[in-house]
Structure 1
C-alpha cells in the first residue's frame, strides 16, 4: 500500500463515524482507533477526603478513587488463563501495583494503581473491550 492510499484511508477514517478500523494485507497491518470524548491528563481522579467531627476530634474519612483505562483495548484481569486475577474485591493495592493489562495492537500495557487502598469494585470482565478512560476498578483509599 503506498503512502497516498494510506493518507486517503486515514482521512476517510477521521471524517467517518467509524471508531475502529483494522486492515491486514500480508505483512501490512493497520489499526486505527479514535475516541470522540474530550481527553484529560488525569489518570486517576479522586474525590476529596471528608473531615468528620467525632466528639471534638477530627478524623479523615477514606475516599474512593477510580483506576481508568489509559487506552482502548482488551482488558485482561489475570496474567494467563487459569491463573488468579491480579486483584479482586478486597485486595490491598499499593501505588505502582499492576491491577490488570490492556492489549492493543498486539502490545500489552500494564495498568498500575496510583493510590494505596483496597479494591472495592471491579467494573469490567476479563477479555472485555474497554474505551479510553473507562473506569476499571474502584479503590477505597487508605488502609
Structure 2
C-alpha cells in the first residue's frame, strides 16, 4: 500500500469522529486506531499542571529533614517540576509567531503559558503553577508525552 494513501487515511481519522479504521487491499491491510485516554472538553483551555508528587506544597510550614535514613525527606534544593496533565504532543514554540514559549533562565509567574500540549488536534495551553525561574526544560519541541510526565523545572 502506498505511503501517501496511508497518510491520507491517518488524516481522515484525525479529522473525523472515527475511532478505528481498517482497510484491506488484496493481501495488504492497514488498521488505524485513535486512543483517547484523557477526554478533552474544549479547545484552547489553559491548564495548571497538577502539583508534583516530588515536592508537596504545605503553606506556611517549613518541612524539616528527618534524621531517619529509612524515610525520604523533602529537599528545599530540589526544583519544582511542572508535570503534564494529559497525554499528547508538547510544543515549546508558538506556531503563529515562531517564538519560544519559555526558555531556561526565564522568570515566570503562576499562570504564565510555558508550553502547549496538542491532544486529538486540540491545543491546550499549559501554565506555570508557581512563580520562579525555569531551570530546565525536560522535553523537546514536538515530543510525544505521557500523563504526569515532568515537563519543566522551576526554582
State the TM-score, normalizing by the size of structure 1. 0.61
Taking structure 1 as reference, are residues 63 and 103 closer, same or farther at Cα in structure 2, changes over 3 Å only? same
List gaps (5 residues or longer) in structure 1.
Answer: 1-22, 36-41, 52-60
Map 1:1-143 → 2, pairs under 5 A: 24=13, 27-30=16-19, 31-34=34-37, 43-45=50-52, 46=55, 64-80=79-95, 83-140=98-155
**4+ residue segments displaced more than 6 Å:** 48-51
Report the counterpart of residue 6 of structure 1 in structure 2.
none
8 Å CA contact 1:66–1:136 kept in 2: the answer is yes
Distance 1:26 1:91 in 2: 36
Q: How much is the aligned-residue C-alpha RMSD, in angstroms?
A: 2.9
Gaps of 5+ in 2: 1-11, 20-33, 39-48, 65-75
How far apart in 1 are the matches of 2:114 and 2:82? 9
Q: How many equivalent pairs are there? A: 104
Question: What is the alpha-carbon distance in structure 2 between the residues aligned to residue 65 and residue 115 of structure 1?
Answer: 9
Residues 98, 112 of structure 1: 8 Å contact kept: yes
Contact 2:14–2:120 (8 Å) recurs in 1: no
Aligned-partner Cα distance in 1 for 2:15–2:124 = 26
Counterpart Cα distance in 2 of 1:26 and 1:97: 30
Q: Which residue is equivalent to 1:12? A: none
Aligned residues of 1:47 and 1:63 also touching (Cα < 8 A): no
Partner deviation per Cα, 1:16-63 (whole Å, 9 max, x = no partner): xxxxxxx8298443232449xxxxxx8022356667xxxxxxxxx665
TM normalised by structure 2 equals 0.57
**Distance in 2 (alpha carbons) for counterparts of 1:112 and 1:134:** 15
- SS at structure 2 position matched to 1:44: coil
Q: Is the 8 A contact 2:84 2:151 kept in 1?
A: yes
Structure 1 partner of 2:42: none
